[in-house]
Amino acid sequence: MLPITLLLAAAAAAFAPSVVARTPALVPPQGDGIATLAPDSDVRWVPFDLTPGNQIRFTLTLDARSLVAILDTGVSHSVLARKSAAADPARITDGGKATAIGGAVPIGWLPTARLSLGGLTRTGGGVTVADLPALATGSATPVDILVGRDIVAGQALDIDFANHRFRLLPSGQLPFAGALAPLSVSPTRRVYESSATIAGRRVAPLVLDTGDGAALTLSEPTWRAVRPNGLPTTTTISFGLAGAVTSTLAILPRLSIGERVAREVEVRVEPEGGFSEQIGVAGRIGSGFLQHYRVLLDPSAGRMVLQPGPDADVPPLRSTSGLLVGMEQGRLKVLHVMRDSPAAMTGWAAGDMICTIDGAAIPADYARSALADWSIAPPGTIVRLGLCGGALRSLTTRRFY
């Protein structure tokens, strides 16, 4: 795939490396290594930034190398990028496959000596090795490693989204008050899992997936069981390790996770036979939802704690144009045209290239500029988009889902 920076200002595509099911023959008996926490782990905060795909990006040290990482509780065993400087080809054992969003991906195994992350040190063990394309992790620049269940699940994980930091604590601590929800590590899938209530129905298991940039993702059978009558839907696109997936998109009026009731939650519905069905779960709760809270994840204590942030009850952004675009070499490339949208009604197609918006060229900092707001403009706004081939198209925004 081309190195495209996806722009998320208008309910655009989410990124979801998600669950990686290891091939057991590749992993030695002590594959998880031995993790220990420093006595002062409570003050060893790890700073992070959020990628364009809502993923928690930070640095750690692996075998004396500083690596760029993503915190991904939806990965059963941490994944090192094959192109990372830490991936020594001579020491990688290949031969397995893993289930990932978009299909299966080939994997290998690399033994490691020492990994350091905040107040945690892991000795021994190893990491899965796979291709980590930049697009699958939400940025134009690829990361080195996805930090998964094998490294963090033995501790409590305190994620302070408002201050862009997290820390690892001994299990059982309760550093702040909030709504309680169930949390465990699946003995078979070996990832964080929880549950929710939608339309009066309990939905479980749901993978609690900090590596997934969406808010809530459901399997098609689960959606059929809980979908509110008359709820309008459209389509969107998501990216996983194995490629792109087109999903149904809607705004769910109400969602309960444990004691927390959330309203107007964006939900994506996978195609029939999609990733969630393949691994036997109802869906995933992602960082698109979690980022509005301070979150404590403590599977050993059987709980998650959600403390609402100032924007926890703010409705999600909705596209009013129907064009999901990515930045490519100073232009905007249409990645997906949302079903029943203004763009779908006016002849747009994936692959179209946009060079101007209302006469203005696409700036290098487009994603952070006010110009990017055209795709979520108030209904009735007329936007004039200049194609790179010279044609000019007008699009009138409206609410369509």
Residue 65 backbone phi and psi in degrees, to 5: -110, 140
Query: 84: which DSSP letter?
Result: S
* Domain termination site, one of 279, 308, 337: 308
Asked if residue 266 and residue 327 are part of one domain, the reply reads: no
Residue 388 falls within a domain, yes or no? yes
244 and 200 assigned to the same domain: yes
Both 72 and 137 in one domain: the answer is yes
pLDDT at residue number 103 = 73
How far is residue 20's CA from residue 191's CA, in Å, rounded to a whole number? 9
User: Per-residue pLDDT averaged across 383-399, rounded?
Assistant: 97
As a residue count, the chain comes to 401
Where is the domain boundary, 256, 273, 308? 308
pLDDT bin (cut points 50, 70, 90) of residue 104 is: confident
Whole-number pLDDT of residue 77? 93
How far apart are alpha carbons 28 and 38 in whole angstroms?
26
Question: What is the reported pLDDT for 6?
Answer: 31
Q: Which letter does DSSP use for residue 27 in this model?
A: S
**If pLDDT is split at 50, 70 and 90, which confidence band does 326 have?**
confident
Which pLDDT band holds residue 38 (cuts at 50, 70, 90)? very high
The domain of 366 spans 323-396
Q: What is the mean pLDDT of the chain?
A: 90
Co-location of 338 and 375 in the same domain: yes
What does the CA dihedral 249, 254, 256, 261 come to, rounded to 10 degrees? Answer: 130
Cα 210 from Cα 167, distance rounded (Å): 14
> Domain for residue 2, yes or no?
no
29-38, 103-112, 234-243, 375-384 — which one is most confidently predicted on average?
375-384
Q: Is residue 55 part of a domain?
A: yes
Q: Same structural domain for residues 145 and 191? A: no
Residue 214 pLDDT? 93
Check whether 243 has a pLDDT greater than 80. Answer: no
Residue 30 shares a structural domain with residue 66: yes
pLDDT at 53: 82
Whether 256 and 354 share a structural domain:
no
Q: In this predicted structure, what is the pLDDT of residue 49?
A: 95
The pair of three-digit structure tokens given for residue 242, joined into one six-digit string: 């194995």
| Helix, strand, or coil (residue 159) | strand
Better-predicted residue by pLDDT, 46 or 327: 46
The answer to whether residue 262 sits within a structural domain is yes
What is the structure's pLDDT at 105? 84
* Residue 395 pLDDT > 60: yes
List, in order, residues 6 or more apart from 391 with CB less than 8 Å away: none
Dump pLDDT digits (tens) for 352-388. Answer: 999 999 999 999 889 889 999 999 999 999 999 999 9
Decide which of 117, 146, 169 is a domain's last residue.
Answer: 169
Query: Is the same domain home to 229 and 141?
Result: no
pTM for the full predicted model: 0.89
Is 123 inside a domain boundary?
yes
Same domain, 190 and 293: yes
Identify whether residues 354 and 221 lie together within a single domain.
Answer: no
* Cα–Cα distance list, 212 to 17, 104, 287 (Å): 7, 17, 6
What are the two backbone dihedrals, phi and then psi, of residue 345, each rounded to the nearest 5 degrees? -85, -5
Q: How confident is the model at residue 328 (pLDDT cuts 50, 70, 90)?
A: confident
Domain count, the chain: 3
Are 367 and 302 contained in the same domain? no
| pLDDT confidence of residue 98 | 83
401 part of a folded domain: no
The enclosing domain of 341 has a CATH number of 2.30.42.10
Which CATH number do you get for residue 237?
2.40.70.10
Say if residue 295 is in the same domain as residue 340: no
